[in-house]
Structure 1
Amino acid sequence: MTAPLTIALIDDEPAIRRLLRTALEGEHHRTVEAGNGADGLICVAQRQPDVVLLDLGLPDMDGLEVLDRLREWTDVPVIIITVRDEPEEKIAALDSGADDFITKPFHTGELLARIRSVCKRLHPAEQGALLEAGPLRIDFLGRVVSAGGHPVELTPTEYRILQTLARHHGKIVTKSTLLQQVWGGAGTTTDEHLRVHLAAIRKKLRVRGCDDLIQTETGVGYRLAARKS
């Protein structure tokens, strides 16, 4: 990141806010804080941060309610910070518009990496019709996928899966979202169909030197890693 960001911290634990503030200000970012959901909504509206770090366990309202209310009027990137580790909670947050999540306790280096990832999507127009992630290159206009300068031959379904992941580059895409966007939510399509197609995509990418670009978030979904060339 080349410019400092303003990052809103919405968490009721002063110790967590202090930890986050120290880590973020050490990277030259500015922080604004709120200890509950109501104050957090006001903080985001008044200070217009670049990124929001949102705890789910707030004293006055659930973090998912805060997220829903934010998404009524802003698309600011939101990273969920939570002690809840159930896949259903994470899926609900992502389906409600969260950009990512991280489970407490966490390493500040991982959090900073997640922030860098969501910030790459602050200006999505810059992606345009071409995406590059490491050796992988996707030309959306020509519907051409290559890796290391060599073509990667995908079936139409495999291409739609990779295209969906690429359009959300660096962000977790839930299994339900993939099923909806690739197959239209057809009732006959299952998680097992998705796993089979992903295994085929990974195999084709692996032979071109793209070993770990498609990452699995167990029980939740998948992401195309935000790896630089």
Structure 2
Amino acid sequence: MNANVSSLLAKPSPPRGDGQRVLVVAADPADSELLSITLELAGYRVGTAGTGAEGMTRLTEHRFDLAVWDAVLLQHLTQPPPAPLLFLTTCDTLHRLVPELGPGEQDYVTKPLRIAEVLARVDVLLRRRRPERQPVLPRYGDLVLDDATCRARRGTRPLDLTPAEYRLLRHLLVNAECVLSKEQISRHVWGDFRANEAIEKLVSRLRRKVDGGPGEPALIHTRRGFGYRLGGGAD
């Protein structure tokens, strides 16, 4: 079989947890054992409860990221739970469950349980609560670069940089406190070696923009005979 066809037919790996706490509230001990083992093997930390009352007590006294809740114990949900819910139900009783489902943080799987489906629904519910990670912006002191927009600022002051100036500033920043030779700078900014005069003019323009604010300490320094560095203090 063609390798590309094989890769398309191969089953995708089930989603895995990252240590999130999941409470399994199931009336059937066999369901509880199956779910506990499956979720633990998938990377979750699992707690269990055999009754709805015990489940509500554990949810209110301990922090769980999600609860897998047997729909036959639905009457014990007397107050909004502090965690998303994945209900276990049968096709015959699904019509009684659907009106109870809230938007966003509740879902269900039907019995007999299909492990791949359980793991997928758990992952989706947890992902909805997961805060989006803010990108880490390259920075040195009050100098901040944003690679997504190719913009830079010094404190609250925006720096109007050309593409070459931005590449040079970023190269200096990621190598902060290190002296970069003119050849290193030239090859990074333009991809080849340029005359010293071109490099000196580029550094001079960048220095006027980066260190041009009133009262700002200079960040770009010349190490005569060696090159340039970005950092605090003069050479």
TM-score (norm 1): 0.47
Rg larger for: 2
Higher relative contact order (CA 8 A, sep 6+): 1
